[in-house]
């Protein structure tokens, strides 16, 4: 099979980054970026010219009409399920950025549509592909029962993203990462503490979840002027910290402390390659599914419901 033609829907800052990563993957002979689509024609044109892409448009339906077999959807959260549905219905393979939707019922609909259309769909839970996540998972298999986990995802949110609940914008990454690290389990939201809450946005959110026999604490903050991405894990034999900024995992046991570097390929390139390989017919075990997105959003929905009450 030759290169898989791909269109990128959404030419904002993240969409542009996706185009850059896909263009780098072109050198491997896996993919060819064929079109840029954005509601802002000038923005679509600018990104197309920057990366030497011949076709740009404001109409997402031009993707199936021109026979482009796959698309990466990187638009605002409220438009993710709408655009994905339109493409899936027309037989286009879709990579859709997280959280896919703020409503789990929308994701169920996409799952059924993808089955009927026979297309590959993959949510953009990029943190699964981070070398720190992979090394954490490796160590968790070595040090016994996980007792509790603390996730910290802190950084200032751009103004345009503050109109979306922080649980769907930031915290959902760690909700999905819980599934990746521990597998799917029965869960119950124990408490939700929203700080600096206004009608416009919750800026800081602290959540306690019982996940199987493990207690999970999620902390998300959209105001901090520095970026923090950390996970602390207590097992019955060790204390493990994953530091995503420092690209390392620290393991402390009664015998001492060891620091392990966690470096590898850029997560964005790896998750996009996984999508392309799946479109080409290969099974990629690490790739998240829409079913994973459905489970993550179900938890996020419950957190949001309790937050509002």
pLDDT score, position 1? 63
Q: In terms of DSSP bridges, do strands 4-9 and 187-197 run parallel, antiparallel, or are they unpaired? A: unpaired
Per-residue pLDDT reduced to its tens digit, 151-208: 999 999 988 888 899 999 999 999 999 999 999 999 999 999 988 655 556 689 999 9
289 assigned to some structural domain: no
Alpha helices in 166-253 (DSSP H): 166, 172-182
Per-position DSSP letters for 254-293, written without gaps between them: TTEEEEEE---S-HHHHHHHHHHHHHTT---TT---HHHH
288 assigned to some structural domain: no
Task: Check whether residue 302 and residue 170 sit in a common domain.
Answer: yes
Higher-pLDDT residue of 71 and 286 is 71
Task: Check whether residue 167 and residue 75 sit in a common domain.
Answer: no
290 assigned to some structural domain: no
Q: How far is CA 55 from CA 43, 90, 276, 305, in A?
A: 13, 20, 20, 42
146 assigned to some structural domain: yes
How many C-beta atoms surround the C-beta of residue 298 within 10 A? 15
* Domain span at 99: 4-125+268-282
Specify the pTM: 0.95
Task: Check whether residue 161 and residue 260 sit in a common domain.
Answer: yes
226 assigned to some structural domain: yes
Task: Check whether residue 9 and residue 30 sit in a common domain.
Answer: yes
Distance from C-alpha of 222 to C-alpha of 59, rounded to nearest angstrom: 33
Going by the DSSP 8-state scheme, the letter that residue 99 receives in this structure is: T
Per-position DSSP letters for 36-73, written without gaps between them: EE-SSHHHHHHHHHHTT-SEEES-TTHHHHTT--EEEE
CATH number at residue 43: 3.40.50.720
CATH number at residue 259: 3.30.360.10
Task: Check whether residue 10 and residue 115 sit in a common domain.
Answer: yes
304 assigned to some structural domain: yes
């Amino acid at each position: 099979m030759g290169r898989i033609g791909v269109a990128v829907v959404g030419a904002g800052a993240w969409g542009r980054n996706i185009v850059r990563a896909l263009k780098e993957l072109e050198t491997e002979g896996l993919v060819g970026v064929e079109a840029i689509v954005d509601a802002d024609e000038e923005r679509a044109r600018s990104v197309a010219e920057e990366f030497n892409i011949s076709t740009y448009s404001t109409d997402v339906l031009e993707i199936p009409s021109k026979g482009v077999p796959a698309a990466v959807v990187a638009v605002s959260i409220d438009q993710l399920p709408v655009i994905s549905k339109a493409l899936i219905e027309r037989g286009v393979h879709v990579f859709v950025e997280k959280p896919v939707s703020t409503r789990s019922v929308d994701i169920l609909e996409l799952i059924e549509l993808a089955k009927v259309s026979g297309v590959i769909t993959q949510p953009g839970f990029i943190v699964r592909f981070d070398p720190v996540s992979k090394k954490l998972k490796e160590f968790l298999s070595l040090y016994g029962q996980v007792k509790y986990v603390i996730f910290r995802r802190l950084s200032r949110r751009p103004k345009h993203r503050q109109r979306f609940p922080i649980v769907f914008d930031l915290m959902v990454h760690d909700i999905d990462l819980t599934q990746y690290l521990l597998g799917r389990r029965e869960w119950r939201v124990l408490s939700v503490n929203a700080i600096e809450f206004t009608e416009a946005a919750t800026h800081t959110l602290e959540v306690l979840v019982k996940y199987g026999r493990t207690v999970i604490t999620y902390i998300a903050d959209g105001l901090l002027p520095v970026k923090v991405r950390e996970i602390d894990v207590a097992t019955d034999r060790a204390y493990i910290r994953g530091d995503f900024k420092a690209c390392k995992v620290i393991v402390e046991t009664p015998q001492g402390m060891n620091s392990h570097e966690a470096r590898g390929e850029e997560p964005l390139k790896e998750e996009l390659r996984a999508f392309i390989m799946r479109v080409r017919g290969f099974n990629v075990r690490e790739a998240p599914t829409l079913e994973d997105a459905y489970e993550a959003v179900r938890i996020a929905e419950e957190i949001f419901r309790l937050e509002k009450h």
